[in-house]
Structure 1
Amino acid sequence: MATFISLVNFTDQGIRNVKESPNRAEAFKGLATKLGLTVKSMYWTSGSYDLVLVTEGTDQAAMATLLSVGSLGNVRSQTLLAYSADEIKKIIALMP
């Protein structure tokens, strides 16, 4: 399973309906589970991003979940593929 970190911003529509954000988050968790993505943590944040998500699953599950949520028009996201210390050690070991 891959780990993904998603940096999320509300769109104009999303911030207008910010009071619904916790309910949308629960719906997101349900959709993610249905599509094979596990939500490990979710934080509302201050600063450059409005939410940060940590998820685990396949590339396809992550893409399907994020595209589905993005199509609703409340958020935009940037998603990073993340590596644990053990995973990056294995990657580095492959280097010549």
Structure 2
Amino acid sequence: MPKYMIQASYTAEGLQGILREGASGRRQAVDAMVSSLGGRVEQMYWAFGEDDVYLVVDMPSNADSAALHLTVCAAGGVRTKTVVLLTTEEIDEAARKQVEYRAPGT
């Protein structure tokens, strides 16, 4: 199952929700949302700085990951960035592929 790292930054409105329900309430909501798409939250970390939360999730497909992103961002309480995570084996497989490529200007 593909793995993703989701970086989330709460809006002021979203942070008000965190203050009301706490981090554990948000974790339960995130677990339920990801599970509803057939995924699993591997880990959820809270952080200081530009991003408030880092999630590592397994999702069935890119479409499921995109559905999660669209739904969460449309609600307005948080902005997310998603990074597709690849295994060592996937990079080894990619490295063995022959790619026709011409660099710009050559």
Normalising to structure 2: TM-score of the pair? 0.80
Q: Is the 8 A contact 1:7 1:52 kept in 2?
A: yes
Structure 1 gap segments, 5+ residues each? none
Q: Is 2:39 the counterpart of 1:37? A: yes
Q: Is 2:61 the counterpart of 1:66? A: no
- The number of equivalent residue pairs is 96
What is the CA-CA distance between 1:66 and the residue it aligns to? 2.2
What is the CA-CA distance between 1:17 and the residue it aligns to? 2.5
Larger Rg: 2
Structure 2 gap segments, 5+ residues each? 100-106
- Quick one: distance in 1 between partners of 2:24 and 2:70? 19
Q: Which shows bigger deviation, 62-71 or 6-15?
A: 62-71
Q: RMSD of the TM alignment (CA)?
A: 1.5
What is the CA-CA distance between 1:12 and the residue it aligns to? 1.5
What are the equivalent positions in structure 2 for 1:5-84 lying under 5 Å apart? 5-19=5-19, 20=21, 21-57=23-59, 58-84=61-87
Q: Which shows bigger deviation, 15-24 or 5-14?
A: 15-24
Normalising to structure 1: TM-score of the pair? 0.87
- Quick one: distance in 1 between partners of 2:49 and 2:86? 24
Deviating beyond 3 angstroms after TM superposition, the runs of 4 or more aligned structure 1 residues are none
- Tell me the percent identity: 26
